[in-house]
Structure 1
Amino acid sequence: MEKTVVILGGELAPEGRAVLEDAGVNVVATPPYINRQAIIEVMNLHKPDAVIVRLLTDLLGPEEMQAGGRLRHIAKHGVGTNDIDVKAATALGISVSMTTGSNGHSVAEHALALIMALVKDLPRQDALIRDGIWDKNQYNGRELRGQHLGLVGFGFIGQALAKMAGAIGMVVSAFDPHTPDSAFSDDTRRETDLDTLLAKSDIVSLHCPLTAETQNLIDARRIGLMKQGAFLINTARGEVVDEKTLIAALEEGHLAGAGLDSFAVEPPGIDNPLFQLPNTLVTPHVAGVTLDAKRAVSVMSAENVLAVFGGETLHPRFLAR
């Protein structure tokens, strides 16, 4: 029987779709940010054996999973499964995979780009010149060498960024209670207390997953612990940060700036105050979807689906639990 895969929330890169179609799979793609009622309708119409999850407006829950009656596997196009009810999937006997490591370098490079642009005062300098102002006295750029970078989360992405930052001459430490000691070295010191990490860092970069424990992890108290004039970088999930408190800290000048690739609500409203502040640099959750990464993520998610169809057991690092 021909297998059907529905891509929920946007198309795959052509190379990923080709992996499925070359294996004889029928592929159907929906528009980005599809809501749960539309998902149920698509599932009932096409009765997929697997879905690949990209951009949704709602949590993919048990009702959607059971619609169509044939779903065996959910493949996340990326590594964050906060938009999938993994517990419900497990209870229904539906496996959930991630594309672990496929876009990590792209995310780490994006975080570094946000750091460099903000610390070097590039957005403001660009705006001044476009307004006809050529005044070197208004340049507030700093050297990155010697600056303390604090990483919250030290998985693949955090480790990749640590190597990049260390090569520049930054001092790097990381907080991650789940990463083994073997991942740390003299170049990246383990910090066992998050509050201490925040208090001593010139730049804080977030690389933790969104869980019940990390939601609003960076709240009013913790932002208050950060250095006057520090920078916050978020290429993780928007809900890890209390946005209202962040906005206040940026407006009051407690934080010098924020580089944000993710937001509490996506897509965010055009009236989001973060977009109006002169000391923010924002991107539309694209850190992990460079052309190179999108190809790699699309191919890996397609290969995970085919592996399940073929009766293979995926390596634990690819499985969400």
Structure 2
Amino acid sequence: MAFTVVSLGGPVAPEGEDMLRAAGVTSLHTGAYPAKMEAVDLLASSGADAIIVRNVERIDEDLMKASTKLKVVAKHGAGTNDIDLPAAKALGLPVLAAVGANAHSVAEHALMLMLALIKDVRNQDAYVRGGGWDKKNYRGNELRGRILGLVGIGMIGRALASMVVPIGMTPVSYDPFAPAAAFGPHVRKVDTLDELLAQSDVVSLHCPLTPETQDLIGTREFGLMKPNALLINTARGEIVNEPALVDALRSSRIAGAGLDSFAVEPPANNNPLWTLPNVIVTPHCGGVTEEARREVSLMTVRNVLAFLRGDTVDQHYFVNR
């Protein structure tokens, strides 16, 4: 197969690279977060037939027009907010996403952040490393008996719900776009976001970033939450208004936050969140366990190869059709 695939932001997993080589595809890649002109030059000089989007600031019209042979853009993951979808549609370029490949990994990450916060892990770790050893300083609690509010009940939300029921949590969800069957037997549907925020002990975000969900959680929404509530964000950072989050945490309007994504990535070194003791952060890595990275790469490569060959690609992988 005489095609060229360019991965922007690093190579896919070794298994995916092996699959490309076995298909006779020329596979090229940049480093993480390449400068725009570096990416444009590589796409143009290679005559790329496909772009795989990994760690890059944004795929815009200039990048998509750099190669006259470009046929498809594929996101190495599920979220496509870093791709200019209207521009892709105008250029007649289909956009694929690896929907569901890392759902279990992200759900586990959200659960980890919940447990780390409720068990006071960050503070206890620092206390022991500093020479402390007194159980009276422990401020841990249990998730058992608490309500988990899921904003979005897609594959990640459903996976997380299945994990917390055995712990003794009660999951509820707000998702105006999901069919009734998506909530399953263990998740109670609530009709409004306000209702979910008011009753939840933990609010976990699992919705896509769209114009409607940008700054979905801000000052007003934090005001509806319980003072002992936790916010978990393994979705997109822009869904939460960060200045409002900082204010809510500083004023104890909410008890804590576990964050895997931020409004600007990488975040600035002086981000005020770093100074707060009731925050646990990770570098947007929830969906990149070794297992998930391998599955995302394999799904992405399979879909790209199928599309380039003219084979059928399942419609739920297409974002802009």
Distance 1:251 1:129 in 2: 25
Instruction: Quote the offset at 1:37 in angstroms.
Output: 2.5
Distance 1:180 1:289 in 2: 28
Within-5 A mapping of 1:59-98: 59-98=58-97
Q: Which amino acid aligns with 1:198?
A: L
Distance 1:125 1:12 in 2: 37
Instruction: Quote the offset at 1:186 in angstroms.
Output: 4.2
Give the aligned partner of residue 53 of structure 1: 53
* 1:47-94 C-alpha deviation (Å, 9 max, x unpaired): 10001000112x211121011211001110000000011121122111
SS in 1 for 2:165: helix
Give the aligned partner of residue 178 of structure 2: 179
Distance 2:10 2:273 in 1: 26
Distance 1:208 1:248 in 2: 23
Give the aligned partner of residue 105 of structure 2: 106
Distance 2:162 2:187 in 1: 9
Give the aligned partner of residue 16 of structure 1: 16
* 1:214-269 C-alpha deviation (Å, 9 max, x unpaired): 00000110011111121000000000000011011111111111100000001111
Give the aligned partner of residue 303 of structure 1: 302
* Aligned-CA RMSD value: 1.0
Within-5 A mapping of 1:189-204: 189-204=188-203
SS in 2 for 1:255: coil
Distance 2:33 2:254 in 1: 32
Distance 1:12 1:22 in 2: 14
* 1:29-56 C-alpha deviation (Å, 9 max, x unpaired): 1011123222212211211000100011
Give the aligned partner of residue 290 of structure 2: 291
Give the aligned partner of residue 25 of structure 2: 25
Instruction: Quote the offset at 1:314 in angstroms.
Output: 1.6
Instruction: Quote the offset at 1:185 in angstroms.
Output: 3.6
Give the aligned partner of residue 260 of structure 2: 261
Q: Which amino acid aligns with 1:30?
A: T
SS in 2 for 1:127: helix
Within-5 A mapping of 1:131-170: 131-170=130-169
Q: Which amino acid aligns with 1:72?
A: K
Instruction: Quote the offset at 1:139 in angstroms.
Output: 1.2
TM-score under structure 2 length normalisation: 0.98
Instruction: Quote the offset at 1:276 in angstroms.
Output: 2.0
Give the aligned partner of residue 3 of structure 1: 3
Give the aligned partner of residue 40 of structure 2: 40
Is 1:316 aligned to 2:315, yes or no?
Answer: yes
* 1:132-157 C-alpha deviation (Å, 9 max, x unpaired): 12121121111111111000011000
Query: Bigger shift: 256-265 or 273-282?
Result: 273-282
Distance 1:24 1:185 in 2: 43
Distance 1:238 1:224 in 2: 19
Query: Bigger shift: 207-216 or 307-316?
Result: 307-316
Give the aligned partner of residue 227 of structure 1: 226
SS in 1 for 2:80: coil
In the alignment, structure 1 segments of 5+ residues that lack a partner are: none
Distance 1:171 1:271 in 2: 37
* 1:93-129 C-alpha deviation (Å, 9 max, x unpaired): 1111011111000000000000011011111111111
* 1:163-202 C-alpha deviation (Å, 9 max, x unpaired): 1011111011001111100122442100110011001111
SS in 1 for 2:255: strand
Distance 1:115 1:71 in 2: 42
Distance 1:254 1:221 in 2: 11
Instruction: Quote the offset at 1:23 in angstroms.
Output: 0.2
Query: Bigger shift: 285-294 or 243-252?
Result: 243-252
Query: Bigger shift: 272-281 or 152-161?
Result: 272-281
